[in-house]
């Protein structure tokens, strides 16, 4: 059997089993609460693995190794920002959000914020849900794009067809089983992802040391030979420019502080405090191993191919795997890259559908029959998947790193402020919440459209702009009615 046929057989087998597993879990979904948040009864290990698989997406397995391949050591700051944010979220926010979800009996991220600020519940539901759905169209599209890139590297399949096939894998079990199916397929994918990110660097370091004729025999030698920018933590910049570069990388930190709904929903769905502690430990350990591996794969790619050896920097992970492993084993590990895309895209679809079904287009009076509500959620999920796929074809940029960074600012930077102040500042109220969300949305869009992201990233600025508006609005706008706390 030829190399491509071996890889194809493994990929088809993997995703066939994944779809069947997702559908099996979906049989246990009976209500819209099951569909949206798995009945708030997740064991800690499942919540942790699902949160990490969802959080990493095609960005961490294609985007981050790609940036490490393209820029060298400077991407250490991105990894440090992400790791610091994830550790902070698991240690300081996860158990609080779990307790809050149980206290207010909520099914969606926006519903929690709205219930917490009950005097403005309806407007907050609408504004928060609309913002989430808007940005998540781009995020889901980025995952479809990641699938297209991986299948192009493997089989030479045009990216457009690869994107369509990725969607066809994700959509059936996501529509059927909702949050529960997504979580338990995520667990399988998280294991495969961490194996890929841990095993590949170990084998890669041995390979470049023992294989003559490569660009370099070690990672330090590769970074040095690639040019002065690659071996510098500041990309050879100095002074103010170096500070800006460091902050641009570290700015990913702010999006993890409760502001990513697809991650916070995993915290909120944990069964009890004991399971929350177990989830925290698993989530942090997974993160430390994964980010070190993602960076190392990009740098190993420099040693194997040279800094200009790949036409698309985000092809580095599948290209390295195909160099290091026999075709069948490479296919298993490459499935880890596709798993990262699947585990995020399906989560985003369910969350967006839940936000739309519960908050933007709630059922009519008398339409609360559990079976009817469940069917309605499934229809909305299918509709959103179709729209996101179309958007993926129309995206002006083909870099996953850029697309995800845009969403990270608009959603993560904005809602991190909302969650932090909701949890820790009693003066914060409903009208200030709406002002915060509106300012974060408008600033991110205007800053990105103006081209100013090239000078200073909105991932950093959105958090502080939204934060400043939140504090000012809390003092300047009168609180409507009771606090709802």
**pLDDT tens column, 155-187:** 777 878 888 887 887 778 777 778 788 888 888
CA torsion sign for 370, 372, 375, 377 is negative
The pLDDT value given to residue 337 = 66
Least confident interval from 101-105, 184-188, 440-444, 470-474:
184-188
Q: What are phi and psi of 270, to 5 degrees?
A: -65, 140
The answer to whether 297 touches 316, Cβ cutoff 8 Å, is: yes
The pLDDT value given to residue 84 = 95
Say which residue the tokens 């294991």 belong to: 191
Between 235 and 57, name the one with better pLDDT.
235
Q: In three state form, how does the secondary structure of 276-337 look?
A: HHHHHHHHHHHHHHHHHHHHHHHHHHHHHHCCCCCCCHHHHHHHHHHHHCCHHHHHHHHHHH
Tokens coding 437: 């969300």
- The domains found in the chain, sorted by start residue, are 3-362+369-398 (1.20.1730.10)
Region 216-232 average pLDDT: 93
The pLDDT value given to residue 76 = 94
If DSSP codes are grouped into helix, strand and coil, which group holds residue 162?
A: helix
Burial state string for 248-272 with b = 16 or more CB within 10 A and e = fewer than 16: bbbbbbbbbbbbbbbbbbbbbbbbe
CA–CA dist 458, 439 (Å, integer): 12
CA–CA dist 223, 239 (Å, integer): 22
State the distance between the two ends of the chain, measured CA to CA, in whole angstroms: 64
Between 342 and 445, name the one with better pLDDT.
445
DSSP 31: S
């Amino acid at each position: 059997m030829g190399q491509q046929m071996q890889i194809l057989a493994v990929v088809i087998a993997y995703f066939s089993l994944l779809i069947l597993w997702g559908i099996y879990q979906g049989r246990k979904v009976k209500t819209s609460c099951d569909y949206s948040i798995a009945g708030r009864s997740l064991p800690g290990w499942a919540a942790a693995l699902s949160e990490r698989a969802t959080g990493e997406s095609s960005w961490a397995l294609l985007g981050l190794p790609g940036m490490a391949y393209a820029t060298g050591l400077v991407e250490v700051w991105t990894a440090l920002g992400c790791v610091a944010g994830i550790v902070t979220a698991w240690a300081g926010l996860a158990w609080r959000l779990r307790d809050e979800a149980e206290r207010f009996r909520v099914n969606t991220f926006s519903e929690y914020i709205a219930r917490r600020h009950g005097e403005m519940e309806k407007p907050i539901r609408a504004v928060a849900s609309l913002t989430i759905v808007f940005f998540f169209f781009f995020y889901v599209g980025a995952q479809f794009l990641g699938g297209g890139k991986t299948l192009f590297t493997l089989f030479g399949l045009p990216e457009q067809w690869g994107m369509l096939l990725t969607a066809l894998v994700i959509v059936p079990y996501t529509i059927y089983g909702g949050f529960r199916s997504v979580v338990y397929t995520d667990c399988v994918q998280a294991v495969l992802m961490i194996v890929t990110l841990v095993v590949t660097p170990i084998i890669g370091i041995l390979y470049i040391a023992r294989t003559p004729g490569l660009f370099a025999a070690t990672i330090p030698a590769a970074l040095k030979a690639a040019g002065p920018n690659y071996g510098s933590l500041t990309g050879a910049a100095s002074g103010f420019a170096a500070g800006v570069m460091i902050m641009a990388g570290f700015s990913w930190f702010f999006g993890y502080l409760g502001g990513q709904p697809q991650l916070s929903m995993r915290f909120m769905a944990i069964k009890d405090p004991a399971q929350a502690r177990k989830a925290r430990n698993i989530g942090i350990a997974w993160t430390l191993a994964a980010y070190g591996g993602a960076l190392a794969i990009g740098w190993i790619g420099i040693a194997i191919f040279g800094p200009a050896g790949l036409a698309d920097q985000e092809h580095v992970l599948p290209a390295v795997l195909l160099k290091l492993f026999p075709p069948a084993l490479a296919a298993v590990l490459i499935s880890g890259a596709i798993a990262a895309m699947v585990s995020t895209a399906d989560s985003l679809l369910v969350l967006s559908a839940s936000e739309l079904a519960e908050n933007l287009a709630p059922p009519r009076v008398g339409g609360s029959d559990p079976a009817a509500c469940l069917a309605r959620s499934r229809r909305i999920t299918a509709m959103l998947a179709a729209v996101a796929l179309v958007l993926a074809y129309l995206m002006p940029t083909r870099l996953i790193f850029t697309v995800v960074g845009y969403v990270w600012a608009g959603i993560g930077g904005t809602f991190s402020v909302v969650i932090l102040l909701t949890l820790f500042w009693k003066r914060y109220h409903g009208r200030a919440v709406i002002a915060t969300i509106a300012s974060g949305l408008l600033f991110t869009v205007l800053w990105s459209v103006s081209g100013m992201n090239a000078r200073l990233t909105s991932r950093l600025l959105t958090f502080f702009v939204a934060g400043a508006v939140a504090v000012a609005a809390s003092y300047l706008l009168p609180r409507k009615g009771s606090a709802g706390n």
